[in-house]
Structure 1
Amino acid sequence: MTVTARERLLDAAVEAFAEKGFTATTTRDIASRAGMSPAAVYVHHDSKESLLFTVSRAGHLAALEVIEEAAASEAEPTARLQAMVREFSAWHATNSRVGRIVQYEFAALTDEHRAEIAEVRRAIEARMQDALRDGVAAGVMDVGDLPGTARALLSLSIDLLRWFSPTGAQSPQDIAALHADLAVRMTRVH
């Protein structure tokens, strides 16, 4: 499979943003990592922020797809919640470099791009709220604050980006299993 110039550029942007952060990364740095001239960056993107938006949008849409597929994989509410939290955590651990960028560089996006990303974030939260609502309706979950609990459960996955290391003692699957178990413990009827 041949990697296109656009793909090389996006991969280089991910590397640079993950290593240096958005603000400290220059288009020259991205171009150098991609083996291109600085002018070549502007053939594909009109700005460094446009590159960030492309990375952020792709990452958020991938995370939404993970949530939706996990939700569709289980009918029983507790199993669905476990699958959603497990897969969302596994995705963040496996894609921790992209995850850090999409979560922590949100403020660097333009207002228009932030609004588009915020829409995807709301969709992810809505899917989690739906799962919790179904669990409450089935009598297997006790959740007094659906939006707050949905955000807390999603935060388990998002927060692992601060400390997870791909070379650490815990695998993405270990962390994902722990988070899925915690989600059930946090929401079950006592």
Structure 2
Amino acid sequence: MTSDDGARPQRTDRRFTGDPTRARLLEAALDSFSTKGFHGTSTRMIAARAGLSPAAVYVHHRTKEEILFQISRDGHQEALDVVLAAIDSEATPPGRLRAIVRDFATWHARRHTLARVVQYEMAALTPEHADLIAALRRHTHNAVRGVVLAGIERGDFTVRDPESTTVALLSLGIDVARWYRADGAWTPQRVGEDYAELALRLVGHSPGASRNQDDEASLAR
């Protein structure tokens, strides 16, 4: 089985670990949700795509919505992990922001099928499940907002509203899942690099200003 961009699945992909039958059901459901939408997909369709009987679906999941929730939770957790790893990989707000947007956009391109489903089928979740997904989304939002606030405090970023800026930065990556196609002209890495540069421009980052601040901090020590 391959990932969206034709590469072998990454080991961190939660859907390819654990119970093989359950993984097949999740993969079949993801394929169907991505092409027919949640409401256009039946449990019988999912079972047929997985090569199983309809009854086998209910051994692992009580409802079709529960399958969507599992896919959505795994996808949002993957995206959050990408953001947190990007933050840990750099020391300064500009470096962290660049890494976040680069890796977040790259993930949405590489995993565009999964990302489309988890981002655009949320309305089908139950209120309880929607609240759990919203908590993951807030964690992602707050992590990025923290980087934006740190950049404003240091004078690296010149934006007036950190909240709307955070929404705009995350939207750059999320929207990639809507339009990206594996057979298009851009690779996931190219999308990530280009969007990272756009993000730094969006926050008004001046590389020279941050270097001067770092130099001043070093002299003060």
- Rounded Cα–Cα distance in structure 2 between residues aligned with 1:3 and 1:178: 38
The change in CA–CA distance for 1:31 and 1:165 in structure 2 (over 3 A counts) is same
- Seen in structure 2, the aligned counterparts of structure 1 residues 40 and 189 have a Cα distance that, compared at 3 Å, is closer
> Which structure's CA Rg is the greater one?
2
Structure 2 distance, partners of 1:3, 1:42, is: 15
Aligned residue in 2 for 1:132: 148
Tell me: CA distance 1:147–1:2, structure 2 relative to 1, closer, same or farther (3 Å): closer
C-alpha deviation, 1:106, in angstroms:
0.3
Which residue in 2 is equivalent to 1:184? 200
* Contact 2:94-2:205 within 8 A present in 1 as well: no
Question: Deviation at 1:188?
Answer: 2.2
Residues 156 and 2 of structure 1: CA distance in aligned 2, closer, same or farther (over 3 Å): closer
> 1:39: which partner in 2?
55
Name the CA distance, whole Å, in 2 between partners of 1:29 and 1:102.
Answer: 19
2:110 counterpart (94, 102, 118): 94
> Over residues 42-82 of structure 1, what are the superposed CA-to-partner deviations in whole Å (9 max), with x where a residue is unaligned?
00000000000000000000000000000110011101100
2:92 maps to 76
Q: Name the CA shift for 1:171/1:144 in 2 (closer, same or farther; >3 Å).
A: same
The one-character-per-residue Cα deviations of 1:112-150 (angstroms, maximum 9, x if unpaired) are 000000000011110110010111111111121111100
- The aligned length equals 190
Q: Secondary structure at the match of 2:183?
A: coil
Consecutive unaligned residues in structure 1, runs of 5 or more:
none
**Mapped pair 1:12 → 2:31:** no
Cα distance in 1 for residues equivalent to 2:107 and 2:87: 14
Equivalent in the alignment of 1:154: 170
Counterpart in 2 of 1:56?
A: 72
Matched, 1:112 2:128: yes
Is the contact made by 1:125 and 1:147 (CA closer than 8 Å) also made in structure 2? no
Query: What code does the residue aligned with 1:151 have?
Result: V
The one-letter code of the counterpart of 1:30 is I
Residue 173 of structure 1, CA deviation: 0.6
The one-letter code sitting in structure 1 at the alignment partner of 2:123 is: A
Secondary structure in 2 aligned to 1:167?
coil
Residue 26 of structure 1 corresponds to which residue in structure 2?
42
CA RMSD of aligned residues (A): 1.3
1-structure distance, mates of 2:21, 2:201: 47
